[in-house]
Amino acid sequence: MITQLISFLEQFSADGRRLQFLDVAKQRTRYLTIVLEDIYQTQNASAVLRSCDCFGVQDVHIIENRNSFNINPQVVIGATKWLHLHRYNEEKNNTRQALRKLKDDGYRIVATSPHHNDVDLEALNLHNGKLAVVFGNERDGISEIVKEEADEFMKIPMFGFSESLNISVCTAISIQHITSQLRNSEISWQLPNNQLNELYLEWLKKSIKKSGLLIEEFNKRNNTNF
C-alpha cells in the first residue's frame, strides 16, 4: 500500500524534484551511523550534520548529558530536514543506554580515540558489520563509558605539531573516507527497498504543500490509515 500512496503523491510533485529524492535516497546508508556524545558548540554540531547529509549518512545519534545539542541554521543550511536525529537526553548520563541500543540494533561501536588497540582510519575493517562511530565533545573527547562499551578504537593519523583536529573536521574526514570505501566495495551498504520507500515517502510529504490533506483524501479513497 505504501507504493500506492507514493504513486498518488507523485502526482503533486515536480518530475525533477522526485528524481532528485530518488537519486539521493539511493545513496543513503545505515551501514554507518554517527554518534555524538555531549557536543556543545553549535558551529560544530551543525557542521557534523551537514557532513552527514553531504556524504549520505542517514542517522545521527545525539547523546546529551551535560550539554544540549543546539543547531545553527546558518551552518546546517536545512540538512536536518533530510536526516533522522535520535536524541538521548532523559537520564543524567545517557551514553550507555545509547550505545547498548545501537549494539542491540547490530552495530559495533567504534570509538574515535588513541588507544593501545586502535587502528588508523584507513585500516578500519568495514567488512566486519555495521559500525557506529562515536565522537566525543570538544573539550574532553569520549567518556570512560564509551571506552568501556567500545568494540574497536580508531584514530586519524596526523603528522604535524598539532595533536588533534576540530570535532567537525574529524567527523567529516572520517565520514568521507568510510562512505567512499563502502561505495567502492561489495558490501550491501544501501538501504533495503522497504526503508528506501519509507524515506522517499517521507521526503515527498515534506516537499508537497498540504500533503496531510492529500493523505487524508487517499485514506478515504482506499480505506487506509497512513
- Which residues define the annotated binding site? 112, 156, 165
Cα within 13 Å of Cα(192), Cβ side: 1
Name the 3-class secondary structure at 16. Answer: helix
Kind of pairing between the strands at 152-155 and 119-120: parallel
Longest C-alpha distance within the chain, in Å?
Answer: 67
Residues 6+ apart with CB under 8 A from 91: 97
| CA-based R_g, the chain, Å | 19
* DSSP structure class, residue 137: B
Binding residues for S-adenosyl-L-methionine: 112, 156, 165
Whole-number Å distance between alpha carbons of 109 and 147 = 10
Cell 535520535 sits on residue: 86
Residue 63 contacts by C-beta under 8 Å, 6 or more apart in sequence?
35, 36, 37, 38, 88, 89, 94, 95, 98
- Among residues 191, 187, 176, 180, the alpha carbon closest in space to that of 22 is found at 191
Q: Which three cell numbers stand for residue 56?
A: 549520505
